Amino acid sequence: MNLWLTRLKEPVPAGLETPAELARFELSRAFPDVQVELAEQSAMGEGYRIDPLPGGSIRITGGSTGVLYGAYRLILDRFCGETAAAVESAPKYALRMIDCWDNPDGTIERGYAGRSLFFRDGKLSWDPLRIRELGRLLASAGLNVLCINNVNVHFPAQLLLEDDLPALSALAEAFRPFGVRLMVSVDFSQPMRSGIPTADPLDPAVREWWKQTAGRVWAEIPDLAGFLVKADSEGRPGPFTYGRNHADGANMLAEAVAPYGGTVVWRCFVYNCRQDWRDTKTDRPKAAWENYAFLDGEFAANVILQVKHGPFDFQVREPLSPLLLGMKKTKLAMELQLAQEYTGHQIDLYTMIPMWKELYEELPADSIMSLAAVSNLGDDANYTGHPLAAVNLYTYGLLAWDPGTDPEEAVARWCRLTYGFAPAQEKALTSLLLSSRRIYEKYTAPLGIGWMVNPHDHYGPNPSGYEYDLWGTYHKADRNAVGIDRTEAGTGYLAQYPEEIAKKYRDPNTCPDLYLLFYHRLSYTFRMRDGRTLIQRIYDDHFEGLEETRAMAGALTGLPFPEPDAGVIRERMEKQLYNAREWCDIINTFFHRLSGIPDERGRTIYD
């Protein structure tokens, strides 16, 4: 299963040791008749230049991994029917990360594509062929860092830095020819496994333990990219236990890994996950800012703060996290989620690049220096469960290489490479994929409110499922109104933004519709700019979302997908149709029962 590389028929053989050797192999198989010369220039790093030469041969100039990226660019361009002009390219971000949430027992937290490709029965364990195939997929999408284990580091994942280090080193070696470096999620309290009574980041014994450990780890894996850390979040250990802040914690690890060129990627997903629903003072979206903004400028040079793109947690619609705008003296990575946790479990279609582009529109140039995305991969034959979910992995790679990537071109390129349909069919598939996010948004939670989902599993509707729970995710719908006022007059969340952004959202009469209920508490009779009442808009969106899903199902059935994709797509589309109907009817019924306001258009709402 070669996904978008279907036209590279031959598997990558074992024994290729460098990106240049791999590039030669790929080029010789893709174009047996074309002379391609590789010119390595180490100063070019991951960048490359492709020059057509007189007589029909081609030269690729690049750094040691640059020549490989250049080779894939040439191969994929030609497969797309594009030829010949000289091109030069280099990635915008040095770290283009995929974060796997794989556990040693082989399960994947929020995984929807089978089991782990790296772990089984408590140990690292992999199929070398599939690792080479995955390496090829990642490299051809320009991705270069793979964190293989869950940020929730459950035992025995700690052994990756202990007894399992030789196996980790062998896995790192397997990925090396693809220019992919491994990263490991670490347990902040791990020194305590060695009998140290504390994990206090300022304790000398703890600091020494991490230094020794880093020394051992990098001696085995000299190009390990670094450590990824989830601390003081959802029950994970962290510096708060010892009265220290997150700069103390991150800098301590940073000092340990610095001699080896390692990076500490420190997540900012920190909030009170034991909130009393009666407490109206705490507003969860404010948490990341409150925990980190005051530390701006305090982090070591090799620390990157990894910030989820929105202030909640990967909902279908959230504003850009204010932390990504307000920490100008700190290195930041934006964290996206390819795994479709809240976005349809790789059953429902949900192409993400339109959403990522919206985030980029609010993100000032150069405010982040890295992108990370939670993996949607697993050991299913097609790697992403739903064959069309692979578009998210591929287009994420394009965006991480070049944030200026055009969503439509990126999706069309993926379609062309994957299926090679006739132009009209390719156009149909491209536009269907591009519309899928908005359709999903319409039939699920209304106008930015989020969280009307089944608790824990996060698939399917449950409008009050999180309402009286501990997670800080409330909509407070009553018979008159819904939403939370997050302006300065309410919880004050909006004050975390620079004024030029805040002013776009402050007034419900000018706030963009799709963010309305994220920022405001409004009565059902509130008149929206298009003249509809809020409640009518909720009904309309839900009915439209369902109708559009039906239309999408019809359009998909008309496309000539090859087997086995065709069967999987059909079967998942059936499930999506069921899901869309459940969402539409349950959400509409929920609001109708509460408000007692009928649908102006008299459609069926179940009472």
CB closer to ligand GCW, 110 vs 246: 110
Minimum gap (Å) between residue 333 Cβ and ligand GCW? 14
Are 135 and 180 a contacting pair, CB within 8 Å?
yes
CB closer to ligand GCW, 132 vs 458: 458
279 tagged catalytic: no
**HSE on the CB side for 597, CA within 13 Å?**
19
CB closer to ligand GCW, 44 vs 372: 372
341 tagged catalytic: yes
When CB distances to ligand GCW are compared, the closest residue is 313
Among the listed residues 99, 102, 341, 441, the single catalytic one is 341
Q: Which of 384, 379, 404, 439 is nearest to 90 (CA)?
A: 404
Are 259 and 217 a contacting pair, CB within 8 Å?
no
Minimum gap (Å) between residue 268 Cβ and ligand GCW? 10
CB closer to ligand GCW, 152 vs 282: 152
Among the listed residues 313, 379, 485, 585, the single catalytic one is 313
Minimum gap (Å) between residue 234 Cβ and ligand GCW? 6
At residue 266, φ and ψ (nearest 5 deg) are -115, 120
CB closer to ligand GCW, 269 vs 401: 269
Burial class (CB in 10 A: 0-12, 13-18, 19+), 85: exposed
Minimum gap (Å) between residue 339 Cβ and ligand GCW? 9
- Sign of the alpha-carbon torsion through 486, 489, 493, 496: positive
Structure tokens at 83: 């030829």
Residues paired with 95 in a beta bridge:
370
Minimum gap (Å) between residue 285 Cβ and ligand GCW? 13
Are 519 and 448 a contacting pair, CB within 8 Å?
yes
Site residues (vs ligand GCW, CB under 6 A): 101, 109-110, 151-152, 230, 233-234, 269, 313
Q: Which of 176, 203, 178 is nearest to 192 (CA)?
A: 203
Amino acid letter, residue 393:
L
Give strand ranges (E) for 210-289: 226-229, 263-267
Are 3 and 23 a contacting pair, CB within 8 Å?
no
CB closer to ligand GCW, 313 vs 380: 313
Minimum gap (Å) between residue 157 Cβ and ligand GCW? 12
Among the listed residues 82, 88, 234, 457, the single catalytic one is 234
CA 238-239-245 angle, 5° bins: 130
Q: Using only C-alpha atoms, what is the Rg of the chain?
A: 25
At residue 296, φ and ψ (nearest 5 deg) are -55, 130
513 tagged catalytic: no
Catalytic site positions = 234, 313, 341
